[in-house]
Amino acid sequence: MQLRILGSGTAAGETGRNCSGYLIDERFLFDCGPGIWSALYSKSRPAIPINHLFLSHFHVDHFADLIPMLWTRWLFALKSPQPIMNIYGPAGLKDWFKELTSVHREWVKDLDIALHELKQGRKEVDNYLVKTLPTIHIENSICYRITDQHGKSLFYSGDTTWNDNLAILARSCDLAIIEAAVLPEDQIEVHLTPQQAAQVAARAKVKTLVLTHIYPQVWPAGPSKIAAAYFDGEIIEAEDNMVIDI
Protein backbone atom coordinates (compact mmCIF):
# COMPACT_ATOMS: atom_id res chain seq x y z
CA MET A 1 0.00 0.00 0.00
CA GLN A 2 1.22 3.48 -0.84
CA LEU A 3 0.07 6.85 0.47
CA ARG A 4 0.60 9.99 -1.60
CA ILE A 5 -0.24 13.18 0.29
CA LEU A 6 -1.73 15.59 -2.23
CA GLY A 7 -2.85 18.10 0.38
CA SER A 8 -2.02 18.48 4.07
CA GLY A 9 -3.13 22.05 4.71
CA THR A 10 -6.12 23.77 6.25
CA ALA A 11 -8.71 26.43 5.50
CA ALA A 12 -6.18 29.01 6.74
CA GLY A 13 -4.66 28.90 3.27
CA GLU A 14 -1.01 28.24 4.12
CA THR A 15 1.34 29.08 1.26
CA GLY A 16 2.58 25.95 -0.45
CA ARG A 17 -0.01 23.56 0.99
CA ASN A 18 -3.17 22.28 -0.62
CA CYS A 19 -6.16 21.49 1.53
CA SER A 20 -6.98 17.89 2.46
CA GLY A 21 -6.37 15.13 -0.09
CA TYR A 22 -4.84 11.67 0.39
CA LEU A 23 -4.31 9.22 -2.47
CA ILE A 24 -4.02 5.49 -1.76
CA ASP A 25 -2.37 3.22 -4.32
CA GLU A 26 -3.05 5.79 -7.06
CA ARG A 27 -6.70 4.63 -6.97
CA PHE A 28 -8.57 5.81 -3.90
CA LEU A 29 -8.82 9.47 -2.96
CA PHE A 30 -9.78 10.55 0.55
CA ASP A 31 -11.14 14.11 0.50
CA CYS A 32 -10.52 16.63 -2.26
CA GLY A 33 -10.08 20.14 -0.90
CA PRO A 34 -8.77 23.17 -2.83
CA GLY A 35 -5.62 22.32 -4.76
CA ILE A 36 -6.26 18.60 -5.13
CA TRP A 37 -7.57 18.91 -8.69
CA SER A 38 -4.32 20.48 -9.88
CA ALA A 39 -2.29 17.93 -7.89
CA LEU A 40 -4.10 15.11 -9.71
CA TYR A 41 -3.94 16.66 -13.17
CA SER A 42 -0.64 18.54 -13.09
CA LYS A 43 1.63 18.74 -16.11
CA SER A 44 4.38 16.97 -14.21
CA ARG A 45 2.56 13.66 -14.05
CA PRO A 46 -0.08 11.70 -15.99
CA ALA A 47 -3.73 12.29 -15.16
CA ILE A 48 -4.93 9.89 -12.50
CA PRO A 49 -8.39 8.43 -13.23
CA ILE A 50 -9.99 8.47 -9.79
CA ASN A 51 -13.01 6.17 -9.68
CA HIS A 52 -13.38 6.08 -5.88
CA LEU A 53 -13.62 9.26 -3.82
CA PHE A 54 -14.21 9.09 -0.05
CA LEU A 55 -15.42 12.24 1.71
CA SER A 56 -15.04 12.58 5.46
CA HIS A 57 -17.51 15.46 5.78
CA PHE A 58 -19.04 18.38 3.93
CA HIS A 59 -16.76 21.30 4.74
CA VAL A 60 -15.44 23.17 1.73
CA ASP A 61 -11.76 22.62 2.57
CA HIS A 62 -12.42 18.89 2.13
CA PHE A 63 -14.56 18.87 -1.02
CA ALA A 64 -14.05 22.09 -3.02
CA ASP A 65 -12.26 20.42 -5.94
CA LEU A 66 -14.97 17.83 -6.54
CA ILE A 67 -16.64 19.91 -9.25
CA PRO A 68 -13.35 20.54 -11.16
CA MET A 69 -12.60 16.82 -10.90
CA LEU A 70 -16.01 15.94 -12.33
CA TRP A 71 -15.62 18.53 -15.09
CA THR A 72 -12.28 17.01 -16.12
CA ARG A 73 -13.92 13.59 -16.10
CA TRP A 74 -16.68 14.90 -18.36
CA LEU A 75 -14.07 16.23 -20.78
CA PHE A 76 -12.31 12.84 -20.79
CA ALA A 77 -15.63 11.21 -21.57
CA LEU A 78 -15.89 13.20 -24.79
CA LYS A 79 -12.96 11.17 -26.11
CA SER A 80 -13.54 7.78 -24.49
CA PRO A 81 -16.09 6.13 -22.16
CA GLN A 82 -15.38 6.53 -18.45
CA PRO A 83 -16.09 3.94 -15.75
CA ILE A 84 -18.50 4.67 -12.93
CA MET A 85 -17.38 7.37 -10.54
CA ASN A 86 -18.09 6.18 -6.99
CA ILE A 87 -18.43 8.83 -4.31
CA TYR A 88 -18.65 7.72 -0.68
CA GLY A 89 -19.52 9.91 2.27
CA PRO A 90 -21.55 10.38 5.45
CA ALA A 91 -25.30 10.27 5.74
CA GLY A 92 -26.85 13.08 3.72
CA LEU A 93 -24.43 12.63 0.82
CA LYS A 94 -27.16 12.25 -1.79
CA ASP A 95 -29.06 15.39 -0.83
CA TRP A 96 -25.82 17.34 -0.46
CA PHE A 97 -24.57 16.24 -3.88
CA LYS A 98 -27.87 17.15 -5.51
CA GLU A 99 -27.69 20.67 -4.12
CA LEU A 100 -23.99 21.06 -4.93
CA THR A 101 -24.42 20.08 -8.58
CA SER A 102 -27.80 21.72 -9.22
CA VAL A 103 -26.25 24.92 -10.60
CA HIS A 104 -24.20 22.95 -13.14
CA ARG A 105 -27.23 21.51 -14.89
CA GLU A 106 -26.95 19.03 -17.74
CA TRP A 107 -23.28 18.11 -17.99
CA VAL A 108 -23.21 16.54 -14.52
CA LYS A 109 -26.16 14.37 -15.50
CA ASP A 110 -24.08 12.98 -18.37
CA LEU A 111 -21.65 11.41 -15.90
CA ASP A 112 -22.14 7.91 -14.53
CA ILE A 113 -21.92 8.56 -10.77
CA ALA A 114 -22.83 6.23 -7.90
CA LEU A 115 -23.33 7.76 -4.45
CA HIS A 116 -22.78 5.63 -1.34
CA GLU A 117 -23.89 6.90 2.06
CA LEU A 118 -21.86 5.43 4.91
CA LYS A 119 -22.16 5.67 8.66
CA GLN A 120 -20.97 2.57 10.48
CA GLY A 121 -19.99 -0.62 8.74
CA ARG A 122 -17.79 -2.22 6.11
CA LYS A 123 -17.71 -2.27 2.32
CA GLU A 124 -15.68 -4.19 -0.24
CA VAL A 125 -14.23 -1.83 -2.85
CA ASP A 126 -12.11 -3.35 -5.64
CA ASN A 127 -10.67 -6.04 -3.36
CA TYR A 128 -9.99 -3.54 -0.57
CA LEU A 129 -11.95 -3.50 2.66
CA VAL A 130 -13.21 -0.09 3.77
CA LYS A 131 -14.61 0.41 7.27
CA THR A 132 -16.24 3.54 8.67
CA LEU A 133 -17.40 4.93 11.99
CA PRO A 134 -19.00 8.28 12.91
CA THR A 135 -16.89 11.06 14.37
CA ILE A 136 -17.65 14.25 16.27
CA HIS A 137 -17.06 17.28 14.07
CA ILE A 138 -20.27 18.30 12.32
CA GLU A 139 -23.66 16.59 12.18
CA ASN A 140 -22.45 14.06 9.64
CA SER A 141 -18.74 13.23 9.66
CA ILE A 142 -16.92 9.88 9.52
CA CYS A 143 -13.47 8.33 9.78
CA TYR A 144 -12.12 5.60 7.49
CA ARG A 145 -9.97 2.51 7.60
CA ILE A 146 -8.82 0.86 4.37
CA THR A 147 -7.12 -2.55 4.19
CA ASP A 148 -5.51 -4.04 1.08
CA GLN A 149 -5.24 -7.64 -0.12
CA HIS A 150 -1.98 -8.09 1.81
CA GLY A 151 -3.43 -7.00 5.12
CA LYS A 152 -1.82 -3.56 5.14
CA SER A 153 -4.13 -0.99 6.70
CA LEU A 154 -4.46 2.78 6.85
CA PHE A 155 -6.68 4.94 9.05
CA TYR A 156 -7.87 8.47 8.23
CA SER A 157 -9.52 10.53 10.94
CA GLY A 158 -10.89 13.38 8.85
CA ASP A 159 -11.70 16.40 11.01
CA THR A 160 -12.88 15.47 14.48
CA THR A 161 -12.60 16.04 18.17
CA TRP A 162 -11.74 13.29 20.66
CA ASN A 163 -14.04 10.26 20.60
CA ASP A 164 -13.66 6.53 21.18
CA ASN A 165 -14.44 5.60 17.56
CA LEU A 166 -11.06 6.91 16.44
CA ALA A 167 -9.02 4.40 18.44
CA ILE A 168 -11.53 1.63 17.74
CA LEU A 169 -11.25 1.98 13.97
CA ALA A 170 -7.51 2.66 13.98
CA ARG A 171 -6.71 -0.41 16.10
CA SER A 172 -3.36 -1.94 15.04
CA CYS A 173 -3.22 -0.02 11.76
CA ASP A 174 0.09 0.22 9.95
CA LEU A 175 -0.39 3.94 9.46
CA ALA A 176 -2.83 6.49 10.87
CA ILE A 177 -3.42 9.91 9.32
CA ILE A 178 -4.76 12.01 12.17
CA GLU A 179 -5.47 15.71 12.26
CA ALA A 180 -3.59 17.81 14.81
CA ALA A 181 -5.20 21.10 13.99
CA VAL A 182 -5.07 23.17 17.17
CA LEU A 183 -3.43 23.78 20.53
CA PRO A 184 -5.36 23.32 23.78
CA GLU A 185 -5.46 27.07 24.38
CA ASP A 186 -7.21 27.63 21.03
CA GLN A 187 -10.38 26.27 22.62
CA ILE A 188 -11.76 24.82 19.39
CA GLU A 189 -13.85 21.85 20.43
CA VAL A 190 -14.27 20.24 16.99
CA HIS A 191 -10.59 19.52 16.31
CA LEU A 192 -7.78 17.46 17.84
CA THR A 193 -4.53 18.72 19.32
CA PRO A 194 -1.16 17.03 18.59
CA GLN A 195 -1.34 15.55 22.09
CA GLN A 196 -4.77 14.03 21.43
CA ALA A 197 -3.73 12.72 18.01
CA ALA A 198 -0.79 10.96 19.68
CA GLN A 199 -3.04 9.59 22.42
CA VAL A 200 -5.35 8.12 19.79
CA ALA A 201 -2.37 6.51 18.05
CA ALA A 202 -1.01 5.13 21.32
CA ARG A 203 -4.36 3.77 22.41
CA ALA A 204 -4.89 2.16 19.00
CA LYS A 205 -1.32 0.81 18.95
CA VAL A 206 -0.67 1.95 15.40
CA LYS A 207 2.80 1.66 13.90
CA THR A 208 3.16 5.08 12.28
CA LEU A 209 1.35 8.34 13.01
CA VAL A 210 1.06 11.01 10.33
CA LEU A 211 0.11 14.39 11.79
CA THR A 212 -1.83 16.53 9.32
CA HIS A 213 -4.31 19.41 8.96
CA ILE A 214 -2.15 21.51 11.28
CA TYR A 215 -3.12 25.17 11.57
CA PRO A 216 -0.30 27.76 11.31
CA GLN A 217 -0.34 28.69 15.01
CA VAL A 218 0.54 25.09 15.94
CA TRP A 219 3.79 24.83 13.96
CA PRO A 220 5.96 26.97 16.27
CA ALA A 221 5.11 24.65 19.17
CA GLY A 222 6.52 21.63 17.29
CA PRO A 223 3.59 19.24 16.71
CA SER A 224 5.73 16.11 16.39
CA LYS A 225 7.66 17.03 19.54
CA ILE A 226 4.38 17.39 21.43
CA ALA A 227 3.11 14.09 20.05
CA ALA A 228 6.31 12.21 20.91
CA ALA A 229 5.60 12.65 24.61
CA TYR A 230 2.47 10.51 24.23
CA PHE A 231 3.29 8.09 21.39
CA ASP A 232 6.53 6.14 21.02
CA GLY A 233 6.00 4.95 17.45
CA GLU A 234 7.15 6.66 14.26
CA ILE A 235 5.76 10.19 13.86
CA ILE A 236 5.66 12.02 10.53
CA GLU A 237 4.54 15.58 9.90
CA ALA A 238 2.58 15.54 6.65
CA GLU A 239 3.82 17.53 3.67
CA ASP A 240 2.32 17.94 0.23
CA ASN A 241 3.78 15.56 -2.39
CA MET A 242 5.09 13.24 0.33
CA VAL A 243 4.96 9.54 -0.59
CA ILE A 244 4.91 6.88 2.13
CA ASP A 245 5.14 3.17 1.40
CA ILE A 246 3.28 1.12 3.99
pLDDT in tens, the chain (246 residues): 999 999 999 998 877 899 999 999 999 999 999 999 999 887 555 566 789 999 999 999 999 999 999 998 898 887 788 889 999 999 999 999 999 999 887 899 889 999 999 989 999 999 999 999 999 999 899 999 999 999 999 999 999 999 999 999 999 999 999 999 999 998 788 999 999 999 999 999 999 999 999 999 999 999 999 999 999 999 999 999 999 999
- For residue 172, give the amino acid letter: S
Which class would CATH give 2-245? alpha beta
- Residue partners of 230: CB distance under 8 A and separation at least 6: 195, 198, 199, 202
What's the confidence (pLDDT) of residue 78? 78
- The domain locations on the chain are 2-245
At 79, the amino acid letter reads K
**What's the rounded Cα separation, in Å, for the pair 203 and 158?**
18
